[in-house]
Amino acid sequence: MKTFTLLPLAALVAISALAPSYAVIYAASNSAIGTPGGDRFQQQVGLDYALDVLEKGSSSFWYAFAQRNETDRKNVTEITVTITQSMIGISDNVNGDIRVNSKYIGNFSGDVKEEFTGIVYYELARALQWDGQGQAPAGLLTGVADFFRLKAGYAPKQWVRFGEGMRWDEGFDVTARFLEYCDAEYEGVVVFLNSWMKFGYSANVFGECPFMLRVCLNLYVYVVCTEDIRL
C-alpha cells in the first residue's frame, strides 16, 4: 500500500513526526454491556483499545493532512466513542461524539477489531476534517473521510473497486477511490483540498481548487468512463 506521505506542495510544510494530541480529551464507553454486541466488544475490542484508536487515529489524521500546528486544525476539544444499541445505522458522529451500533458489532462476521478501527478512523476524519464552512457537499466530505480510512489500511473488502460507481462525488467508498486516483497522480492533492475547504467551498470545485484536480477528473473520465460510470 502506498504510504501516506502526501506533502509535495510548496504551500504545505513537511512533517517528520506524528503531531501530538495537545489538549484534546478522549473518552470511550460501552452502554450496551449485557447485549451480544456490547459483550463482544468488551471481549474482542475493549475500551483501552478504543481509547488508543482515538488518540492514534487523531494523530494520524493531523499528520496525514499536514496539520502540525493547532492553528491548522479544526477546533475540537473532546472526542468520544460510545458503543450503544440506541441508534440506527452502523455509526454516526456529532461534534466529535462518535457512536457505534452494538447490533452491528454483534452481527459482524469478520475481524470485529479491525472493522471497529476502520469505523472510528472514518468518524474521526469526519470530526476533524474541514467542511467548507458548512457548505461542502456530503458526498465529498464522506469521500475524504473514507479516503483517510482507505490510506490507513482499513478499507473493507466489500468496497467498490477503482472506477465503479455512478458519479465521482456520490460519496463514501466511490469518492474515496476517485480521491485515491487523484492522489496517485498528484500526491498531496487531497491534503490541499482539505486545507482549501477550511475557508469555504464553491460548487465549481474543479475550477477554483487546485489545477491538479481538474487534470485528475479529466484523466479519471478517460481511464474508467464506461456505461457504468458517469462523471
In 10 A of CB 159, how many CB atoms?
Answer: 15
d(CA 111, CA 94): 26
213 falls in which pLDDT band (50, 70, 90)? low
162 falls in which pLDDT band (50, 70, 90)? confident
pLDDT of 9 reads 29
Average pLDDT rounded to a whole number, residues 73-88: 97
Instruction: Mean pLDDT check: name the lowest of 82-86, 89-93, 116-120, 202-206.
Output: 202-206
pLDDT of 1 reads 36
* CA neighbor of 191 nearest in space, from 72, 34, 38, 23: 72
Average pLDDT rounded to a whole number, residues 44-61: 98
Average pLDDT rounded to a whole number, residues 141-150: 97
pLDDT of 81 reads 99
HSE-CB of 91 using CA atoms within 13 angstroms: 24
**Three-state DSSP class for 214?**
helix
Planar angle of CA 1, 146, 24, nearest 5 degrees: 100
211 falls in which pLDDT band (50, 70, 90)? low
Average pLDDT rounded to a whole number, residues 39-65: 98
Average pLDDT rounded to a whole number, residues 206-218: 58
pLDDT of 17 reads 37
Q: Tell me the three cell numbers of residue 151.
A: 490510506
Cα distances (angstroms) measured from residue 157 to each of 110, 114, 150, 153, 154: 10, 12, 11, 11, 9
Instruction: Mean pLDDT check: name the lowest of 56-70, 195-209, 214-228.
Output: 214-228
Cβ-based neighbours of 56, under 8 Å, separated by 6 or more: none
Average pLDDT rounded to a whole number, residues 136-160: 95
pLDDT of 224 reads 46
